[in-house]
Amino acid sequence: MLQLLALHLLAAVAAPAIMRRFGRKGFLPLALVPGSAAVWAVVNTGAVVDGRGPTLDVSWIPALDMSLSFRLDVLSWLMVILVGGVGAIVLGYCAWYFASGAKFLGRFAGVFVAFAGAMLGLVTTDNTLVLYVFWELTTVFSYLLIGHYFDRKGARRAAMQAIIVTTLGGLAMLFGFLILGEAEGGSYTISELIAAPPAGGGLVTAAIVLVLVGAISKSALVPFHFWLPGAMAAPTPVSAYLHAAAMVKAGVYLVARFAPGFAETPVWQWMILLTGGATMILGGYRALRQHDLKLLLAFGTVSQLGFLILLVGQADRAVALAGLALIGAHAMFKAALFLTVGVIDAAAGTRDLRQLSGLAKHLPWATVPGVLAAFSMVGLPPFAGYVGKEAALEALVHLDDPMSVAVLVVVVIGSILTFAYGMRFLWGAFARKKGVPDTSVDKEATGLYVAPNVLAFAGLFAGLFPVAGETLLAPYADTYPQGEPGHLTLWGGFGIPLLLTGVIIVAGLLLMLGRTAIERAQELVSVGPDADRTYRGTMRRLDSISVAVTSITQRGSLPVYLGLILLTTVVMIWTSAYAGGLRIGALKPWDYPVQAGVAVVIAVAAFLTARARRRLKAVVLLGITGYGVVLLFALQGAPDLALTQALVETITLVVFILVLRRLPAYFSNRPLKASRWWRAILATIVGVTVTFVALVIPNARVTDTIAELFPEEAYNFGYGRNIVNVTLVDIRAWDTMGEISVLLVAATGVASLVFLRARAGRVERIRDHDMDRGSVWASDSPGDDALVRRSRTQPVRSTRNRRWISAGVALAPHRRSVIFEVATRLIFHTMLVFAVYLLFAGHNSPGGGFVAGLVAGIALTVRYLAGGRYELGEAAPVLPGLLLGSGLFLSAGAGAVPLAFGGVVLQSAVIDFHLGYLGDVHLVTTLFFDIGVFLVVVGLMLDILRSLGAEVDRQGEAEGRAAPDVAHDSPRSTADDAQPLEDALAGGGPR
Amino acid sequence: MNQFVPPEIDWAALSPVLIVLGLAVVGVLVEAFVPMRARRATQVVLAVVGVGAALVAVAWRWVVVQDEGPTAVVAGALREDAPALLAQAILLVCAFVGLLVIADRSSGEDAFAPAAAAIPGSAYEAEARKAGLAQTEVFPLTMFAVGGMLVFPAAADLLTLFIALEVLSLPLYLLAGLARRRRLLSQEASLKYFLLGAFSSAFFLMGIALLYGYSGSVRFDELATAVPATSGLDGMLLAGVLLVIVGLLFKVGAVPFHSWVPDVYQGAPTPITGFMAACTKIAAFAALLRFVYVVVPGLQWDLTVALWVIAILTMIVGTVLAVVQTDMKRMLAYSSVAHAGFLLLGVIALVPSGISSVLFYLLAYGLATVGAFGLLTLVRERDADGNVTGEALHLSQWAGLGRRHPVLAVCFTLFLISFAGIPLTGGFIGKFLVFGAAIEGGAWPLVVIAVLASAAAAFFYVRVIVLMFFTEPAGTDADPGTTVVRTEGLTAVAVVVCAIGTVLLGVLPGPILDLTASATKFML
């Protein structure tokens, strides 16, 4: 068994090489491969009929209950012969069908053989999951076969349609198998499932439906019937194989396989009756009006598949036997008919029955199989089709439950239609028509005629020996749950079945004679919704829905994305708050009423910030909220926090403004009015939610806060009374360590972003200033107000005693402010002293390294603002990297020292000593750590000033583009419209 | 006062993480000290060897854990148990192949901007390109991300989880902005990813705060014991759990937290996209599994609705939107969203097989993803002068590729059918396992939707296959417009490994299934 599959695989892989070597005759050796499977089945016939067919069980994926278990019972035997036999014959036919120079034959042959192999595995495996695997493989391979003429749009669309419909069905089936496998008493082995179907319940019913959906989608039953006629875009041999023995037969096989176990379930019976019955009648009806012979046959197949599934899906043994016989008969006559059409198509160059005429005379060896096969199809004796249909009628007549009566009615109606379109096929293909000249035919190779004749005569042969068929097929039919065993015979005696056959023939002939009227009527009346159109409509709708959804949700707009996420989170929080009863505990509005006032100020400032159009305004308003928080801290009795916060606010403001100089004055791209409203609403909602959560969290505290331990611990272990500072340098010293490292990285990062080009390795001092070189700050075109001042301050270089700050001369006169320079001169050193004081006092009073660093930083900022970039170099003639590095080194070093004394890293110690007149000194070793922090903060500030301040200035000078003076911008001189200086000098004109 | 007890640290158990993060640090030093010429080679070797060594270490720990049982590491901050180790192994495998793609220099240059800080289109950038600068920081950054991802599946307390989340996210934010071409798109991607990520991190933290308020602990196990024991604070618990899950779902890219996925996948350098798509998903799902399976069982009834809605939305939105995409990367991005939905099925199932099935799915998905994105890096556009330029990402540019470059197209087809879940590929087995687990867990309505979504998804995967094999290429034979560049070999190796892995997982998944089958229980 596995050898056969492996043979198919090998042949498929080798096919391209074979086809290259032998050309189109390469199909002949390849035909041996599926043929070998049929031979294998034939050889095993005796054993199979005795119920001792070969079996095989190889463990594959035990964890999934997937095992390569195969067995050859009667049903599989029948299918293997059909799959292998018809496959071989069709492949042989291909050797003459394709033009000798046809392209892509290698791929075609390979896929065809692989397809046959997949079918072989499908019909022999005993494991549902492996069956699914083969099922999907047939889907994929059939897709490739249908799409063989890939340059034709129709072929591509048909292939796509086929794969989507059958994949959907396949997945449904897999889902059904999963349920059947996991359900109580379920199994992944088919024979076990059939022998002991899992006990009922809604889930198993659902599983049955799902498995049947798989079957009917594969077999192109209503409502999935539309893909099969489309699939005739494939080369004719493929159509023959697909319609007769493979692909669509997989669905029939599945139904026949599961019927013994499930055919008595009501849902099964109803689905089979409805889909099978509707398909049989609809297919026949549609076939009556087709002009393309192949399409006519394709709708005929649809009809026949409904018929087959209707029969093999019944619970009765006799009906099932008839169904099995018809599976065989159908394979032979349908393949023969398709191949005949292929011959006609090749010889006459058309398949349109309105253009064909007189072929009976010119193509006798196409006519013979055509007639034989069509007779078999319409159920005329003594062909196999007759035997099967007769047996079906016989069996159904003897059953009297309503379901069977319904089936009988459907079968009779369907057979009448079948008779009619069968005759129409014969008439259309071979008859000589009035008014149509005889079609001229090319001479075709003899080999082309072999295959259809073999198949057609096989049908005749099988019909002549019905007993053989009965003997061979009965063992499987007997596994069905109900009724008497049926019989296959050519002559069943006089009775209702014979009468019905007569009715079918007469009515069919009448329909055939009235064919023109019927065609016309069909064109006028459209029957129900067109499934093909529905499918295409669905696909189109899917497309347009996704376009619409994309344009709504995925427009690349960050606010929309963010809004979506925020909204979802808000909904989640409120839902769970509602469902689980999230409560805010007791609330105290304020400690002092003043706090409420401050809060109002903060809120108003925040609101105005969001509304601000101008960046500068927003920044300043933001600063107000920050200073409001400072006030709150101070009111709460936390001077150290308030001090820190105030300094941080100040510096943030300065940095903001330094950056703003290079940005447009106004926020750009204001959102439209409507979107502004929803943004505001969303922001409010999110704000309320977050406030709510923020109120919930502290009230949910169940244990005492760790902060209560801090005052005592800070003094006992950190030897200081300023909890904030002790926390920084002792209790959470490791965190501080991390923080200052981050500061260092941040400073370096900012600097390297701004100093893109060459980072100056040295500090620019005033002596570096080239007075001759025009610089922006020195020669900006001033505003009117500045011009007034210019005349007074312009003339001389400042003499020693008039130089309040050393680098002021590097600035344009109108940029300078005497008051500012004097004030800077006065307070700079004071601030530095204050910083040092804070640094040393910090352990017990408000202050500390961080705060001290900020104060020193602000002092430097003042110098820079007053005197420009050279002044900064004068104020701090060191590289910030040095400060940062030594600071970090000092902190880390100070932290490591205790190790030398047997302590742990960052442990504090206290040293008290007397220093004469200076009094007692209470030195805590963390001071050194704090100094490191101080240096890092100063370094950071210096780095920011150097990069965002000085370097930005320098780049502005180099580019000749003035940094806008945000301090007193007028709408005339924003960065938006800042003119390059050189333009102005050169008299304008774009660069 | 409580005496501080330093935790016992089992260095051996931490070895995979330590190797990766250690080498990442070494990588930073390499940037500083190794001369330019040797830098790239050093970095590549370091990264590849590091990930390989970590994989070996994980294998060793697996053996140890199988022998001695799972343990709590670093005072319970991490767990060393079978699911964690397996997730780490899967992650490292995908990271390994991902790194190969990242290191590849097809057509002589890598996928990264020569100077990421330069303003797109500036003269400075052009100079940097001309000078042949290379951004070898990519490797340490990737290693840091891998380090964070390794911690993610093992983290057993919320703070560790958060730190791991940030450690893995921050480098990715950066890496997303480093694309050599389409710089603005790349920077936009980076910014979006960062901003949205920052918000989700904030929610995550808020959730931690709520859970801490609820239980007085951030440890999963203590949280789990608190769930049935504490009463009256359900809202807090529920909100907290939801917010933490939001943080994780963001990383996973589940709807409605998926909006960044297509933009970032499209903008980021393609090798990074592949790495990120595979590895982030693996790490985040492993963490999500642990959180949900350890903490949530006590309150599954309350959470089910939310998780079901998210899973359904994720599957449907991912699939439906993928249908109309015309950009390869965006299509794969939406497909990854849909896959997140399928994976959620295994999480929601809340049965032991859910864990193993998700892990298997992740492996299959990860390999196919890295492979597919790896192939994307090879298919390039060509300008009028015949110079190879950026990646050819529009669907139409792939027309007829199958005939000019059959091997590449066949590999890509393989990955696509694995995504589609067609049998004999890893994707099928993964889907099968996850659906099975979901049915076992009683979530069969979800499976129905998943089946429908899979069928619809087949549509757009197949469409690409049709395009490659069955459509006439747009250009002429002389000037095809689209070309396939020769690789240095690294991408080829990665793609071949992924392809073989995908097939093996589909045909002979037995050994891997045995491994995943032993990873069905989280240590409390």
| CA-based nearest distance B256→chain A, Å | 6
Taking contacts as CB-CB distances below 8 angstroms, the residues of chain B near A951 are none
Structure tokens at A465: 């020996």
Which of B451, B514, B517 is closest, CB to CB, to A171? B451
Which of B263, B302, B439 is closest, CB to CB, to A182? B439
Which of B324, B429, B440 is closest, CB to CB, to A182? B440
Structure tokens at B290: 């642990």
At A530, is the secondary structure helix, strand, or coil? coil
CA distance A696 to A586: 10
Cα of A27 vs its chain's centroid, Å: 41
| CA-based nearest distance B370→chain A, Å | 24
Cβ(A249)–Cβ(A79) below 8 Å: yes
Asked if B510's CB is within 8 angstroms of A60's CB, the reply is yes
- Please identify which residue in the block is written with the tokens 């499209």: B266
For residue B391, give the H/E element and its range.
strand B388-391
Cα of A645 vs its chain's centroid, Å: 48
A680 domain-assigned = no
Which of A167, A171, A579 is closest, CB to CB, to B302? A579
* pLDDT surpassing 50 at residue A277: yes
Taking contacts as CB-CB distances below 8 angstroms, the residues of chain A near B417 are 140
Which of A132, A539, A546 is closest, CB to CB, to B320? A546
Residue B484, strand partner residues: B379
A538 in contact with B, Cβ within 8 Å: no
Cβ(A213)–Cβ(B489) below 8 Å: no
Percent of chain B with pLDDT over 90: 51
| CA-based nearest distance B294→chain A, Å | 20
Cβ(B24)–Cβ(B147) below 8 Å: yes
Which of the residues A67, A139, A148, A167 would you substitute to probe the B interface, choosing the one with the greatest number of B C-beta atoms within 10 Å? A167
Structure tokens at A872: 């900064």
Structure tokens at B187: 């920077």
- For A633-642, write each residue's pLDDT tens digit: 999 888 888 9
A32 in contact with B, Cβ within 8 Å: no
CA distance A211 to A216: 9
Cβ(B508)–Cβ(B436) below 8 Å: no
**Average pLDDT of the residues in A166-191:** 86
Q: How many CB pairs under 8 A join A and B?
A: 198
Asked if A550's CB is within 8 angstroms of B259's CB, the reply is no
Asked if B321's CB is within 8 angstroms of A550's CB, the reply is yes
Tell me how long chain A is: 991
Give the domain range for residue A219.
2-513
CA distance B42 to A651: 42
At B105, is the secondary structure helix, strand, or coil? coil
Residues 6+ apart with CB under 8 A from A984: A781
* pLDDT surpassing 70 at residue A759: no
Q: Which residue, among B196, B369, B357, has the nearest Cα to B285 in the 3D structure?
A: B357
Backbone angles phi, psi at A327, to 5 degrees: -55, -50
**Average pLDDT of the residues in A382-411:** 89
Structure tokens at B380: 């390039």
Is the bond preceding A382 in cis, omega lying within 30 degrees of 0?
Answer: yes
Taking contacts as CB-CB distances below 8 angstroms, the residues of chain B near A558 are 191-192, 195-196
Taking contacts as CB-CB distances below 8 angstroms, the residues of chain B near A156 are 466, 470-471
Q: Which residue, among B97, B95, B70, has the nearest Cα to B83 in the 3D structure?
A: B70
Which residue does chain A place closest to B127, by CA atoms? A757
Cβ(B150)–Cβ(B54) below 8 Å: yes
Taking contacts as CB-CB distances below 8 angstroms, the residues of chain B near A206 are 444
Structure tokens at A112: 């065809």
- For B347-378, write each residue's pLDDT tens digit: 998 888 899 999 999 999 999 999 999 999 99
Helix axis angle for B138-154 and B158-176, nearest 10°, is 150
* pLDDT surpassing 70 at residue A668: no
Which of the residues A553, A561, A583 would you substitute to probe the B interface, choosing the one with the greatest number of B C-beta atoms within 10 Å? A561
Which of A64, A163, A164 is closest, CB to CB, to B432? A64
Cβ(A737)–Cβ(A892) below 8 Å: yes
CA distance A553 to A642: 44
What's the confidence (pLDDT) of residue B115?
80
Q: Write out B124-151 in H/E/C secondary structure.
A: HHHHHHHCCCCCCCHHHHHHHHHHHHHH
Cβ(B417)–Cβ(B425) below 8 Å: yes
Q: % helix / strand / coil in chain A, to the nearest 5? A: 75, 5, 25
Which of A566, A690, A700 is closest, CB to CB, to B236? A700
Measured between its terminal Cα atoms, the distance across chain A in Å is 81
Q: Which residue, among A866, A779, A751, A782, has the nearest Cα to A818 in the 3D structure?
A: A866
Domain residue ranges of chain B, discontinuous segments joined by +: 11-517
Q: Which residue, among A229, A287, A297, has the nearest Cα to A519 in the 3D structure?
A: A287
CA distance A278 to A271: 10
CA distance A584 to A579: 15
Taking contacts as CB-CB distances below 8 angstroms, the residues of chain A near B250 are 565
Asked if B514's CB is within 8 angstroms of A700's CB, the reply is no
Which of A550, A690, A697 is closest, CB to CB, to B213? A697
| CA-based nearest distance B286→chain A, Å | 21
Backbone angles phi, psi at A547, to 5 degrees: -60, -45
Residue A790: pLDDT band by 50, 70, 90 thresholds? very low
Q: What is the mean pLDDT of chain B?
A: 89
- Please identify which residue in the block is written with the tokens 């300094």: A647
Residue A79 identity (one-letter amino acid): M
What's the confidence (pLDDT) of residue B314?
94
What's the confidence (pLDDT) of residue A373?
93
Which residue does chain B place closest to A545, by CA atoms? B320
A258 domain-assigned = yes
What's the confidence (pLDDT) of residue B1?
42
Cα of A880 vs its chain's centroid, Å: 50
Specify the higher pLDDT residue, B524 or B264.
Answer: B264
Asked if B260's CB is within 8 angstroms of A580's CB, the reply is no
CA distance B257 to B314: 9
CB contact residues (below 8 A), chain A span 275-294, against chain B: none
A951 domain-assigned = yes
- Average the pLDDT over each of A249-253, A764-768, B124-128, B437-441 and give the range with the smallest value: A764-768
Residue A490 identity (one-letter amino acid): L
Which of B214, B257, B435 is closest, CB to CB, to A178? B435
- For B95-154, write each residue's pLDDT tens digit: 999 999 999 887 777 888 888 777 788 887 888 888 878 778 899 999 999 999 999 999
Cα of A732 vs its chain's centroid, Å: 46
Which of the residues B195, B299, B422 would you substitute to probe the A interface, choosing the one with the greatest number of A C-beta atoms within 10 Å? B422
- Cα distances (angstroms) measured from residue B202 to each of A366, A936, B67, B196, B251: 78, 28, 40, 10, 13
Indicate the burial class of A958 (C-beta count within 10 angstroms; 0-12, 13-18, 19 or more).
exposed
What's the confidence (pLDDT) of residue A591?
86
Domain C-terminal end among A513, A544, A579: A513
Asked if B432's CB is within 8 angstroms of A129's CB, the reply is yes
Q: Model ipTM? A: 0.81
- Cα distances (angstroms) measured from residue A225 to each of A273, A283, A748: 15, 8, 70
What's the confidence (pLDDT) of residue A306?
92
A717 in contact with B, Cβ within 8 Å: no
What is the DSSP secondary structure assignment for residue B347, as one 8-state letter?
A: H
Helix axis angle for B352-376 and B406-420, nearest 10°, is 150
Into how many domains does chain A fold? 2
Q: How many CA atoms lie within 13 A of A637 on its CB side?
A: 3
Q: Write out A4-40 in H/E/C secondary structure.
A: HHHHHHHHHHHHHHHHHHHHHHHHHHHHHHHHHHHHH
What is the DSSP secondary structure assignment for residue B263, as one 8-state letter?
A: H
CB contact residues (below 8 A), chain A span 49-88, against chain B: 60-64
A282-286, A577-581, A902-906 — most confident range:
A282-286
CA distance B305 to A420: 57
- Cα distances (angstroms) measured from residue B256 to each of A661, A678, B125, B246, B346: 39, 19, 37, 10, 19
Residue A771: pLDDT band by 50, 70, 90 thresholds? low
CA distance A327 to A685: 68
Residue B332: pLDDT band by 50, 70, 90 thresholds? very high
Cβ(B365)–Cβ(B278) below 8 Å: yes
* pLDDT surpassing 60 at residue A788: no
Asked if A545's CB is within 8 angstroms of B203's CB, the reply is no
Tell me how long chain B is: 524
Percent of chain A with pLDDT over 90: 26
Residue A923, strand partner residues: A911
CA distance B482 to B469: 15
- For B137-196, write each residue's pLDDT tens digit: 899 999 999 999 999 999 999 999 999 999 999 999 999 999 988 888 899 999 999 999
